[in-house]
């Protein structure tokens, strides 16, 4: 029993920390920001626990959660995302006179929900994790409740999220009716042994689960909500939702896809491949015409979901390895870009536009260099982390016989170069006009930029270290 608690310690620590944070918030004055420091310490301890438990690959608590392996790596991704979000958020929300301890508590709850999704070996656990994460994001999206755009973002996210949850719950019910089990292992056994109680209900249930998860990931044709929600939410929250939140939702797909492999059919893979194609093309084309950088990154986030969906469409261990690698790389390059926008953002009612970045390199060379680094990596230019993430995904697709899907990914990447490099052109080669440049760069603002930039560079220089580790989990 004790061993189970130790193996699941990262998830347990964050879950208890989120509950304790509510008590800390209630018992301490708001001016002391005790919850801020408590959240940072809790996440740091959980990060150490996640790293230590990577080798502890197995099941715990009556086989309802998985421990170690890929879930532990994803834990590290979510925790680092939470840490960087909290550090970047404090000066951002304090500058708007809206710093409340509830923000940090909500980040903890969102992180715990993501981790629960990654560890789920049972559909009920998966559902609980998705709802904990989603409910936290609904509130965080509307955190600036005095602004119309933030309220609109939260309302759209809540209504469409609740709609997606309905599909998910109905799909889970049908899968249970067909297999008599909510456990992934039990479902897989029923499929392999051909002991389905209602065989016709099973594919319908799986289809509904894919639709529900597709909404959460924002893949075609369920992507329409993402640009509006991401654009209206606070910038630091958008960065957290579009990286760690997206990685968690994609992680929920992994056990579903692994169970589908035993069916030995191509229908689900074909559906995922076609969805990836539409997501990549539509996300990139829509991003080209955007003038607001935040909305451009929102559409590009849709496109990146399509790239990661390639790993699921391939439906083999190499594809899943590439998916997790890309999720890690994407966290740092996308979150870093949103941190830069948060520093530049001065008006909650007006997002940073391309014209606002004109001549940025003349006044803030470090900020412009960091943004350029993130743009190059998102575009997939070597030797950045984004290049190797796409390389692993595309080679996995080619080896699985989906050469056409890899070609679509390459075309999408070529389109993305236009709008990513466009930001760099404005920063370095355009004359400044009216500007909203930041005038002060404190250590608190620099830290998230330094960490994300360093991670993008390191993952680009030695990508094989992480790729080899991830490959060992599915051997």
CA distance 353 to 428: 15
Q: Give percent of the chain with pLDDT exceeding 90.
A: 12
Cα gap 435→201, rounded to integer Å: 58
Q: Which two tokens stand for residue 56?
A: 């502890």
Length of the chain: 475
pLDDT-derived band at 265, boundaries 50, 70, 90: low
Segment (H or E) for 58: strand 58-60
pLDDT at 320: 85
Contact between 110 and 89 (Cβ < 8 Å): no
Please give the residue that has the higher pLDDT: either 24 or 282: 282
**Binning pLDDT at 50, 70 and 90, where does residue 349 land?**
low
For range 117-140, the mean pLDDT:
89
* Each residue's pLDDT tens digit, 393-418: 999 999 888 889 899 999 999 998 88
Q: What is the DSSP letter of 274?
A: H
Q: Is the pLDDT of residue 475 over 60?
A: no
| Domain spans, the chain | 266-475
Give 1's pLDDT tier (boundaries 50, 70, 90): very low
Its pTM stands at 0.90
Is-contact 247 74, C-beta < 8 A? yes
Indicate the range of 260-274, 280-294, 375-389 predicted with least confidence.
260-274
pLDDT (average), residues 445-471: 86
CA 320, 321, 322: angle at the middle one, nearest 5?
Answer: 90
Q: Would you say residue 262 has pLDDT above 60?
A: no
Q: Given a cut of 80, is residue 453 above it in pLDDT? A: yes
The mean per-residue pLDDT over the stretch 228-240 comes to 85
- Of the segments 78-82, 180-184, 267-271, which one has the largest average pLDDT value? 78-82
Q: Who wins on pLDDT, 203 or 330?
A: 330
pLDDT of residue 437: 55
Task: Check residues 51 and 358 and name the one with the higher pLDDT.
Answer: 51
DSSP code for 347: B
Question: Is the peptide bond prior to 221 cis by the omega test (within 30 degrees of 0)?
Answer: yes
Residue 32 predicted with pLDDT over 70: no
Provide the mean pLDDT of the chain: 84
Residue that is written with structure tokens 């479902």 in the block: 187
Helix, strand or coil, per DSSP, at residue 33? coil
- pLDDT of 474 reads 63
The mean pLDDT of 307-335, rounded to a whole number, is: 88
Closest CA to 231 of 184, 300, 292, 172: 292
Phi-psi region for residue 61, left (φ > 0), alpha (ψ -120 to 50) or beta? Answer: left
Which string of b and e fits 30-60 if b means at least 16 CB within 10 Å?
A: eeebbbbebbbebbebbbebbeebbebbebb
Tell me the three state secondary structure of residue 350: strand
* Cis amide bond preceding 218, omega within 30: no
Residue 260: pLDDT over 70 = no
Among 19-33, 37-51, 317-331, name the one with the lowest average pLDDT. 19-33
413-to-338, 381, 390 alpha-carbon distances in Å: 20, 9, 9
Look at residue 68 in the predicted model and tell me its pLDDT.
Answer: 80
- Would you state the structure tokens that stand for residue 3, as one six-digit string? 């061993």
């Amino acid at each position: 029993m004790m061993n189970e608690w130790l193996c699941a310690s990262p998830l347990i620590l964050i879950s208890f920390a989120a509950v304790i944070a509510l008590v800390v918030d209630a018992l301490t004055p708001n001016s002391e920001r005790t919850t801020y420091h408590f959240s940072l310490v809790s996440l740091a301890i959980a990060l150490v626990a996640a790293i230590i438990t990577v080798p502890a690959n197995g099941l715990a608590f009556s086989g309802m959660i998985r421990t170690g392996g890929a879930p532990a790596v994803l834990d590290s991704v979510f925790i680092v995302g939470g840490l960087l979000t909290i550090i970047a958020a404090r000066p951002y929300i304090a500058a708007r006179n809206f710093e409340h301890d509830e923000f940090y508590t909500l980040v903890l709850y969102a992180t715990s929900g993501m981790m629960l999704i990654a560890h789920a070996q049972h559909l009920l656990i998966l559902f609980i994790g998705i709802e904990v994460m989603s409910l936290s994001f609904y509130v965080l999206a509307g955190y600036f409740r005095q602004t119309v755009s933030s309220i609109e973002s939260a309302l759209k996210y809540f209504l469409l999220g609740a709609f997606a949850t309905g599909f998910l719950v109905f799909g889970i019910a049908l899968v249970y009716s067909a297999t008599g089990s909510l456990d992934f292992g039990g479902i897989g056994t029923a499929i392999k042994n051909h002991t389905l109680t209602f065989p016709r209900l099973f594919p319908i249930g799986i289809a509904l689960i894919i639709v529900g998860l597709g909404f959460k990931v924002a893949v075609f044709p369920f992507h329409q909500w993402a640009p509006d929600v991401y654009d209206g939410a606070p910038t630091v929250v958008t960065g957290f939702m579009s990286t760690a939140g997206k990685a968690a939702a994609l992680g929920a797909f992994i056990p579903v896809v692994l169970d589908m492999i035993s069916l030995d059919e191509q229908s689900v893979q074909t559906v995922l491949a076609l969805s990836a194609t539409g997501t990549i093309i539509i996300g990139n084309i829509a991003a080209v015409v955007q003038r607001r950088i935040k909305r451009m990154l929102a559409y590009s986030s849709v496109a990146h979901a399509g790239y990661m969906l390639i790993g699921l469409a391939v439906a083999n261990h190499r594809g899943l390895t590439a998916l997790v690698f890309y999720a890690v790389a994407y966290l740092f390059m996308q979150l870093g870009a949103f941190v830069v926008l948060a520093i530049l953002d001065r008006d909650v009612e007006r997002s940073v536009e391309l014209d606002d970045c004109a001549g940025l390199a003349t006044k803030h060379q470090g900020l412009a260099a960091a943004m350029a680094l993130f743009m190059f990596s998102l575009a997939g230019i070597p030797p950045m982390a984004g290049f190797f993430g796409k390389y692993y995904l595309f080679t996995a697709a080619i080896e699985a016989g989906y050469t056409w899907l890899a070609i679509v990914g390459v075309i999408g990447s070529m389109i993305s170069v236009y709008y990513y490099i466009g930001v760099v052109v404005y920063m370095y080669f355009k004359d400044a006009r009216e500007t909203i440049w930041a005038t002060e760069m404190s250590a608190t603002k620099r830290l998230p930029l330094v960490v994300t930039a360093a991670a993008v560079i390191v993952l680009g220089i030695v990508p094989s270290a992480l790729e080899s580790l991830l490959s060992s989990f599915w051997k």
